[in-house]
Each structure stands twice: as structure tokens, then as C-alpha cells.
Structure 1
Amino acid sequence: MDNYRFILSGGGTGGHIYPAIAIANELKSRYPDAEFLFVGAKDRMEMEKVPQAGFKIEGLWITGIQRKLTFKNLLFPIKLMSSLIKANAIVKKFKPDVVIGTGGFASGPLLKRASALGIPCVLQEQNSYAGVTNKLLAKKAKKICVAYDGMEQFFPKEKIVKTGNPVRSDLAEMKADRAEALSFFGLTAAKPIVVVLGGSLGARRINQLIEKELAYFETLGIQVIWQCGKLYYQDYKKYQSTTVKVYDFLNRMEFTYAAADIVISRAGAGSVSELCIVGKPVMYIPSPNVAEDHQTKNAKALVDKQAAVLIKESDLDTEFERQFTALFTDKQKQKIIAENCKKLAMPNATEAIVDEIEKLLK
């Protein structure tokens, strides 16, 4: 039998959505006749991204609790009750064999109702510091797939399976030729290349830093591939030159990684997992504006294994040039970081997660 039914829920950010889509695609390749339904939060990016990936989605009226007292917080109990009622109806109507949650607000009500109805649930936690939703759901989940060591501080030890994070299926096979990559970007092999990744929307503080440091990069003879994000592209495209290439979004990541000598990046779980597979020297600048400061914790987990350099946003003005110069001029350090990164990579994460899901199929 392969006409199984799966509900996947996760969203709010790309970090929750893309793993869910990767898991669905792997399940679909094993069970072509299976049926899939995604459940997300209304008005969040999953409502657009999931249909683009070819899957149906239903939205719940749910948001997180704000950290300060706001009108939205007063609505939270009403939204939660509404979402639990709708989630209950969705689960009863769709009758899934397994429900998979990848984190984010919507997965809370959905997995809570599914587990109450006796349907096996699998959680996938991307970060080294578990999210609130997954921590609340852990008791009822059958399996919890994680990407970092030490997750028993958040979850029951016997349920944890270390699988790694799903990454783009083409990433492990990325074997782009450097010469081809240089030609794609219009850069030269004679000078080193720094790639700057601030996420698809961009990172204001990283963009401000790069703008300020362009002259410094020039004195070091460095070429820059700068993904500033679509929110900021109009502000920074004026810096486009023979040695600085500015993009709102980078579609050809195989060329981006092939061209890179050093990468400067945010430390979202997906980015960290990808960069480990690619095995490049990375300098992480975590976003301080995320729940439980999990990006800093993701980056620290690598720094502890000599697999990255970490600079906090608050230290950029005083520390960036010193730390960057230390990394840029020390080829041995670059080599060690790249090698240690590779050792932590888990390129078969999606398959490993789906193996765990298969064990729960009746």
C-alpha cells in the first residue's frame, strides 16, 4: 500500500517551511500515490510558498504571543481556540496516517489535536535551541528528529533521533566548476571572493556593515558577491561594480558556493546545515531578533568544534575588521574550519527523517 495520507505543518519562516517541503518531496518520491496536505498560519509566507512547490495548504488563524502587551496578545486565546477547532476538523476529515511538524505557530494546534486523536506525530527541530512549539508538543510525539547534539535538555531522550536538517536536494550533488562560477558572476580568478548571505529578505545590520567595509575589502583585493535581500536591493544596487556584485536574491547557489573563498552569513538552521555540506570557511553574524536567540546558539555549536567564526552584531563595529583579517590571512585556519564543517555535515538528513516516518506507517 502506498496511498498513505500525510499532513505536514510548519511555517512563519523559511526555516520551518523548506524542511517541510523537502520531507514531503522525499515521501512523494517513495509513495507516488500518497496524498499530502500542509497546514500553515494564515497571512504567513507558507500560504504562498507551499502551493508554489505543488502542495495543497489550509491556513489557521494563529500567531505567536508578542513579548510586550499588545492587542494581538488579547486576541491570542480566541485565535488558539479557533485554530484548535479548525485543526480538529482538518485532521478528522483528512484522516492522515502520520502528521509531521517542523515548528512554527500553526504546528502547535494541529499536532496537539492529531496526537489527541491517536495519530502518530513526528517533530523536526532545526535549531540547537528548541522552539517553544516543539517543546510543548514533545511529550506526545512518537519521534523527534534533531540536527544537534545535546537536545535531551529539551526532549525525552528515547524519542530523539539525530538526522540533521533537510537541505535542498541538489546541494549534496553541487559540483559546479569554479571557472564556470566566475564566468557567471563576471569575476576574476586572480582575486579572492567573499560571499555575503543575509537571507532572502536581507539583513539590515549585515548590509550596513558591508556598505561600510567595501573600501576595506578593496584594500585587501577582495571581490564581493553580496546578497542584500529584496527589501534592501534598491538601497545597495548602486555599489555594483567590476569587483562588487549586488543581488536581491541568489538563485544559482551552486555557482555562489563554488565561487566563495569565505562566506559571511546569518546563522539560521538551514543556512548552517547547507554551509556545513559545502565546507567553506564561514563567519556567522547571528540575528539577535529571533526567539531564544537561537541563531547565536546554532553558531556557537559550530565554534565549539572549530567549524566557524562568530561575531555578535553588537561587536561588529569594534571586532569585524580584526576578526576578518585574522581569518583572511590565515589559510591554515580557513582549511581547518572548512574541514571541521564538513565533518558536521549530514547531507542525507531528509532521507533519514523519512526513514523514521516510515517506521510509524501501519
Structure 2
Amino acid sequence: MRIVLSGGGTGGHIYPALAIGKQVMEEEPGSSILYIGSPKGLESRIVPAQGISFEAVEITGFKRKLSYDNVRTVMRFLKGVSRSKQLLRDFRPDVVVGTGGYVCGPVLYAAAKLGIPTLIHEQNAVAGLTNQFLSRYADSVAVSFEEALPQFRKSRSAVYTGNPCATNVVRADKDQGFAHLGIPSGSRIVLLVGGSRGAKAINDVMVDMAPLIGRLPDVHFVFVTGESYYEQTTSRIREILPQQMPATQQMPATLQVLPYLHHMPEVLAASSLVVGRSGASSLAEITALGIPSILIPSPNVTNNHQEANARTLADAGAAEMIAERDLNGALLFERITRIMNQSDIQSQMGTAALSLGMPNSAAMIVSELRRIIAM
């Protein structure tokens, strides 16, 4: 299979595309992959590091109000379509996949105009503007949340596949997660993470909650701050911790504060409870593993889609949701304590999460690609 992947701007668009590419290579080892992204997006660094061919197309998004910038955006879009057509003619793909972000616009539009089979993947419960626009041209739309299907009624085909990031994480070895953290296998872990770049609101609540963790002495807490917040957050935690700690001990034995987790799938697999944002890829991973969660949706995203994502899990009993405006250390620790001290609640939430998980998502999407190629 010759496949073009396109998705950019955030990891939430990039990693699902890479998961689809990985599944294609596993099922058809002789396949060829080209990734088309933005020269300034994260994909320009992440994709080449994976050994995948990368080409760039210049594009920006539309402003939500009348602006001269939108005229420039139209011109960039048209140039992007022309550039994309040339790249597609040169590569000659069997299929083109878009996973969201502005760069998908010219790439998928060009593919449709050239008669190349196309599929778009929508990660969130509330569809993004680019995918809504592209759905009228795509041969198939795959969605992560079943609730998103009605938003694509006018598309040629819409299928519920889940998020392909789920497929990667179910293969993770949780014993390696314990080993990476340097703690005994079987330890109970509460993982707090604000995303790959961190989130100030979640880091602030880590600081507020740090003096309380001694009340759960058999639970190991892992705080992942994001690299840009790490020094400030660790300094604040050290200042606020009880003064009776030994001078030589900078952090409680049951607390690790880390800037980044390079083995996130393994640590996730080892975790008993996850506290964090409700990006689509993260939710796909925790449901595939059946992990209870406390979700704090980011209020700073388009269409408030993280709250819609979180409500899907909360309504199913798989998660608890706390609005960022209500968040504080005492409230969060109370929720964590209730879940960790009541095995029946933890079990029920885990079972509900697992019922939402779709660990075969990547394979389902590749099967759909074969279907539209054969049309």
C-alpha cells in the first residue's frame, strides 16, 4: 500500500496518523508512507524522527471574524492545493488519510480532485472545522466517539472506529512502567499529567496537593509537569512541603515529579488512576487499558471539545470530571482518596472505561482504507 498521511499542529492530530501508518506497515511490510504537514508544526520534527518521509505545505487557519488575513489564507490554501497536487502526482498514493489540522485542508482537497481515495479521522466528540469542510469530499470519515457520527450525516460514509492511538498502548508492558519509575511491580500509582507540554492549572493543583499525599501512604504519585513548568513546579512543591521532612530528602518517597515521561505507554499501563486533560488520544489510551480517570478539560480549545470528550466518559461512569474553574488541591485529593480507598468504585470505573475502549482501532481503520481503495 502507498499511503499519504496528513495531520498537524498538535500531537492529537499527529500521533493518530502515525499509529495508522504503523498499522499499515505491520499488515503490509512493503508499504510506502509519505507524511505531508506544516513546516512550522510539531509534525516537522516528530515525523522525520520516526524515519518517515516528510514534505511541507504552507497553510494557516481562517480567522473567525472578517479579516484581511482571511484573503491571504485563501491564497495560501490555493497555493497549498497546487503544491499538494504535485506531491501526490509524484508519490502516486493508493489512499490519502487526514487526521485534522489546517494542513489537511489543501492535501485532502487536492487528493479528492485528483480522484485519489481519501479518509479523514475525527478524534473529538465535537468535529473540527477542517474535518467538517473535508467530509463533503472524503470517501470515508472515521470517528473516535460514536457521538460524532451525526455530525457527518452528509458524508459518503461515516464509521465508528475509535482512536488508533489505543492500539499502541495496549501492547505496553506495565512491568517496564514500574521499572522505569524505579518502584516495585504492583505498586498503586496515581498519574497526574497535563499533556506533553504541561498545563499551568494542573501544575498549580499539584503544588496544592503535595502536602496531602502522605495521607495515602500506600499510593505512589507521579506528577508530570511538562518541561517548561518543571523547575518552577518542583521549587514550589519543595517550599510548601512539611518542614519535618529530613533535610536530605527533597521529595516524599511516594512522590516523583518529572518534566516528561519518555515511556508513557508503559507507565500508563501500570497506573491505577489517571488525572489529566481530556484530549482524544489520551482518552483512547486510558479506555483501551480500562483505567479510571479524573478529567479536567482544557477550557482553551476550539468548540470546548475537551469537555464534550470528558462528558462521554463521565456519563458512562468511566471517569469523574472537574471543571478547571472549580479545581483546587483539596477537592482533587478528596476525589482521588475516594476512588483509591474504595476498590468497588475503582473496579466499576475501570470496567466502564474498558467498555468504551477500542484497542483494534488502527486495524479497523486500515480495513476501511482497503475498502475505499477497492471501490
TM-score (norm 1): 0.90
Q: How far off its partner does 1:41 sit?
A: 1.4
1:289 to 279, 283, 300: 300
Q: Which residue of 2 aligns with 1:61?
A: 58
Q: Which residue of 1 aligns with 2:242?
A: none
1:237–1:168 CA distance, 2 compared to 1 (3 A): farther
Q: Which residue of 2 aligns with 1:201?
A: 197
Deviations 1:283-338 (A, max 9, x none): 01111111111111111011111111111101103843443443343332111101
Structure 1, gaps ≥5 residues long: none
Aligned letter for 2:157? K
1:268-347 matches, within 5 Å, as 268-317=279-328, 319-347=331-359
1:175-254 matches, within 5 Å, as 175-177=173-175, 181-182=177-178, 184-187=180-183, 192-221=188-217, 222-238=219-235, 239=237, 241=251, 242-254=253-265
| Aligned equivalents of 1:75, 1:158: Cα separation in 2 | 31
1:266 to 277, 301, 306: 277
Q: How far off its partner does 1:258 sit?
A: 4.5
1:235–1:330 CA distance, 2 compared to 1 (3 A): same
1:92 to 69, 89, 94: 89
Instruction: Kindly indicate whether the alpha-carbon contact (under 8 Å) linking 2:140 and 2:372 is maintained by their aligned counterparts in 1.
Output: no
Deviations 1:166-208 (A, max 9, x none): 126542233423xx65454244689843111211111111001
1:163 to 145, 161, 164: 161
Q: Which residue of 2 aligns with 1:356?
A: 368
How large is the Cα RMSD of the aligned pairs?
Answer: 2.4
| Aligned equivalents of 1:42, 1:292: Cα separation in 2 | 26
Instruction: Kindly indicate whether the alpha-carbon contact (under 8 Å) linking 1:187 and 1:243 is maintained by their aligned counterparts in 2.
Output: no
Q: How far off its partner does 1:223 sit?
A: 2.9
Q: How far off its partner does 1:66 sit?
A: 4.3
Q: How far off its partner does 1:235 sit?
A: 1.7
Q: Secondary structure at the residue paired with 1:267?
A: coil
Instruction: Kindly indicate whether the alpha-carbon contact (under 8 Å) linking 1:283 and 1:311 is maintained by their aligned counterparts in 2.
Output: yes
Instruction: Kindly indicate whether the alpha-carbon contact (under 8 Å) linking 1:125 and 1:144 is maintained by their aligned counterparts in 2.
Output: yes
Instruction: Kindly indicate whether the alpha-carbon contact (under 8 Å) linking 1:42 and 1:62 is maintained by their aligned counterparts in 2.
Output: no
Deviations 1:123-168 (A, max 9, x none): 1111111111111111121111112113232102761111111126
| Aligned equivalents of 2:259, 2:344: Cα separation in 1 | 33
Aligned letter for 1:49? I
Q: Secondary structure at the residue paired with 2:74?
A: helix
Instruction: Kindly indicate whether the alpha-carbon contact (under 8 Å) linking 1:223 and 1:244 is maintained by their aligned counterparts in 2.
Output: yes
Instruction: Kindly indicate whether the alpha-carbon contact (under 8 Å) linking 1:41 and 1:63 is maintained by their aligned counterparts in 2.
Output: no
Instruction: Kindly indicate whether the alpha-carbon contact (under 8 Å) linking 2:143 and 2:149 is maintained by their aligned counterparts in 1.
Output: no
- More deviation in 31-40 or 138-147? 31-40
TM-score (norm 2): 0.87
Q: Does 1:113 align with 2:124?
A: no
| Aligned equivalents of 2:221, 2:63: Cα separation in 1 | 37
Q: How far off its partner does 1:14 sit?
A: 0.7
1:285–1:57 CA distance, 2 compared to 1 (3 A): same
Deviations 1:88-137 (A, max 9, x none): 22223323221111111111111111112211111111111111111111
| Aligned equivalents of 1:256, 1:166: Cα separation in 2 | 19
Q: Which residue of 1 aligns with 2:22?
A: 25
1:237–1:69 CA distance, 2 compared to 1 (3 A): farther
Q: Secondary structure at the residue paired with 1:193?
A: strand
- More deviation in 283-292 or 254-263? 254-263
Q: Which residue of 1 aligns with 2:243?
A: none
Q: How far off its partner does 1:68 sit?
A: 6.8
Deviations 1:248-268 (A, max 9, x none): 111223542354222101111
| Aligned equivalents of 2:105, 2:159: Cα separation in 1 | 21
- More deviation in 263-272 or 74-83? 74-83
- More deviation in 234-243 or 289-298? 234-243
Percent identity over paired residues: 34
| Aligned equivalents of 1:155, 1:279: Cα separation in 2 | 28
Instruction: Kindly indicate whether the alpha-carbon contact (under 8 Å) linking 1:228 and 1:249 is maintained by their aligned counterparts in 2.
Output: yes
Aligned letter for 1:285? I
1:168–1:48 CA distance, 2 compared to 1 (3 A): farther
Instruction: Kindly indicate whether the alpha-carbon contact (under 8 Å) linking 1:10 and 1:106 is maintained by their aligned counterparts in 2.
Output: yes
Q: Secondary structure at the residue paired with 1:296?
A: helix
1:14 to 8, 11, 14: 11
Deviations 1:22-71 (A, max 9, x none): 11122223333333211111211101111111111111111223457888
Q: How far off its partner does 1:229 sit?
A: 0.9
| Aligned equivalents of 2:187, 2:52: Cα separation in 1 | 44
Q: Does 1:137 align with 2:134?
A: yes
Q: Which residue of 2 aligns with 1:123?
A: 120
1:141–1:70 CA distance, 2 compared to 1 (3 A): closer
| Aligned equivalents of 2:101, 2:172: Cα separation in 1 | 30
